[in-house]
Amino acid sequence: MLLVKLFFSFIWVGLFSVGGGYAAIPLIQDQIVHTHHLMTMEEFSDLVTVAEMTPGPISINSATFVGMRVSGIYGVLLCTVGCIIPSFCICLALAHFYYKYRTVSGVQVVLGSLRPAVVALIASAGASILLLGLFQTELHNVVLRDIRIVELVIFVASLVILRKYKVSAIAIIFGSGVAGTLAYALMGAV
């Protein structure tokens, strides 16, 4: 029964994650953390971190990791296929209709109106991950005194270095990992 639940959850994610992998993160979070309670928010945050670091689309990586975490190899297969099938079918249909009707002005209006929704989904996923990283909790449980100072300093420093000095994202990720490890090692030694 759990495998069927996972399969249909990822079919739902694949159907409604308009805008790419990052738009799927809030949908996966809703299905796995809130609806079916298969993971905690902290586990989901770790999953997103690993899925981002792994080569490939983040939605498929997330589906694969959720499947493995919850049901092993059968979960991997069902979650990944469930995530891919809707996108594959929709892309085939849209490609056919787009090439047939791309000059119609109404098509351009619809595509233009989808952009703000996609930006909102991506911003929502980013805000959830940021709050979880800085407070280890979700939005409705945020208390300012619980802020994690090391993570805040690393976040601000990474943002400044990324924007001002145009350092590559890979170097930022590696440097943040080293800085966090050193900071917690020093704090543990004191």
Q: What is the largest CA-CA distance in the chain?
A: 67
CB-CB contact of 119 with 23 (8 Å): no
CA separation for the pair 54, 52 (Å, rounded) = 6
CB-CB contact of 34 with 7 (8 Å): no
**Averaged pLDDT, groups of 10, the chain, 190 residues long:** 90 82 84 90 87 87 91 93 89 87 82 86 82 72 78 93 91 93 85
CA separation for the pair 149, 49 (Å, rounded) = 19
For the record, the structure tokens of 173 come out as: 């990720």
Query: 3-state secondary structure string, 39-91?
Result: CCHHHHHHHHHHHHHCCCCHHHHHHHHHHHHHHHHHHHHHHHHHHHHHHHHHH
From the CA atom positions of the chain, what is the Rg in Å? 19
pTM above 0.85, yes or no: no
pLDDT at 189: 67
pLDDT tens, position by position, 53-86: 888 888 899 999 999 998 899 999 999 999 999 8
pLDDT tens, position by position, 98-115: 888 878 888 888 888 888
pLDDT at 141: 67
